[in-house]
Amino acid sequence: MAYSINEVLELAKKSKMVDIRFTDLPGQWQHFTIPAARLDEEFFTEGIPFDGSSIRGFQEIHESDMLLKLDASTAFIDPVAKIPTLVISSNVFDPITLQPYPRDPRYVAQKAEQYLRQTGIADTAYFGPEAEFFIFDNVRYSNNPYSSFFEIDSKEGWWNSGKAGEQNFGGQISPKRGYFPVPPADTLQEVRSEIVMALEAAGVPMEIHHHEVASAGQTELGMRFSTLTNMADAVLLYKYIAKNVSRQFGKTATFMPKPLFGDNGSGMHVHSSLWKGDKNIFYEGSGYAGLSETAIYYIGGILKHAPALLALTSPTVNSFRRLVPGYEAPVNLAYSQRNRSAIVRIPVTKSNKAKRVEFRAPDPSSNPYLCFSAILMAGLDGIQNRINPGEPFDKDLYDLPPSEARKVLQVPGTLEAVLNALESDHEFLLKGDVFTKDLLDAYISYKRKVEIEPTRLRPTPTEFEMYFDI
């Protein structure tokens, strides 16, 4: 439910605290909290100052002052807080010009929706992400100049089938065998149900939950599709609720794309469709997989710009541990109906309203505002320039003979490669001033300095196994 300012002020009277949230450039929620009695209309109209130099990807120390203006439509009562707390998301503004801050990811999403309307192609873009994650029982990790390790554990993990020292019931989940087993093999039924109920209490319509393919607690909860910015808001809420409810059960949730070696990683397949009025313009009953020419060109844009897109949709070093053949990860730059080995899939449906395009490369480490906006901008570029994606591949792309496999391009294999691709292919993102060159430069610089360089410089335990004895 979208509230007005007056309705939110009334909600605040029933709360003890108001939690004010916004998003940094990499895509994590940030917050501070005020007593509910302090909330008044000026928080929505005039804003509240904060230090932008302490937020990743924002301001330098000599220009640190920034402003938050609350968005009443995002308000909800926090279902996991012990003290009654009203949560409200904000947009970031420049305190001098009073203009929206171009590096605010939420503002990027709002501009993407505005640009879509300006093109005249459609009025509304609907997005439906499938964000997977793991729920573990224990995690330890450390990284310093003289040692490095990580250790994770789950009662479901196949490696615990021979564990002694405590009662062991067996029935652990083997690698790649986690899809849809019932309890007691699925140990997380109650946890997932609690997460779903908490999300619905916070105003997020939910459709399904289930165990995912990997061993050791891989999970997916299905949210009902929504408009771009609203869906990105919901993804951050989804992650927040999943982590907090898991902790209440004495467990820990991670949206890291590839925490387990030798098993499936966590993706965030993103479904999208474009609507003009009450018509889904992706549907055409006589087209391939029921797709319209517009949808085919939309796919063409995604495939053409996929290497650059991945810098925003699969944006971590760890993302490329997932994007490898053999683990249901989409590495082939092709499209197909039903075929999960293609990077773009058209789910089978007889409903014209449900006709959509599924981009399978993204993962939940991405900033959803930037991820969804980039996908839309690539698709729109495909429509505007009538980019033909070529013929579909309706066969298993992982099992092609070498002569055919050579014809199918694959995604780049590292974060560094996709950042280089974004650096050379970003004009489609700048249309309508949706993304700015300043934002992209800051984003690329952050990723190289904070994520690529540390992993490039550090030896790993696997390297000791391979090279210590040479």
Residues designated as active site: 51, 130, 132, 212, 220, 269, 340, 358, 360
Q: What is the DSSP letter of 449?
A: I
Region of 98 (left: φ > 0; alpha: ψ -120 to 50; beta: rest) is left
Q: What is the DSSP letter of 181?
A: P
By the 8 A CB rule, do 158 and 172 touch? yes
How many CB atoms lie under 10 A from the CB of residue 161?
Answer: 12
CA 350 – CA 360 distance, rounded (Å): 21
Looking at 291-361, list the stretches that DSSP marks H as alpha helix, in order from N- to C-terminal side. 293-313, 319-322
In this structure, what is the dihedral angle of CA atoms 219, 220, 221, 222, given to the nearest 10 degrees? Answer: -170
CA 346 – CA 313 distance, rounded (Å): 19
The amino acid that residue 184 corresponds to is P
Largest CA-CA distance found in the chain, in angstroms, rounded:
71
By the 8 A CB rule, do 282 and 162 touch? no
Q: Residue 406 corresponds to which tokens in the numbers above?
A: 């050579």
Instruction: Tell me the β-bridge partners of 126.
Output: 227, 273
Contacts of 442 (CB under 8 A, 6+ apart): 25, 57, 103
In 3D space, the residue among 56, 18, 21 whose CA is nearest the CA of residue 37 turns out to be: 18
Looking at 178-292, list the stretches that DSSP marks H as alpha helix, in order from N- to C-terminal side. 189-201, 228-248
Contacts of 467 (CB under 8 A, 6+ apart): none
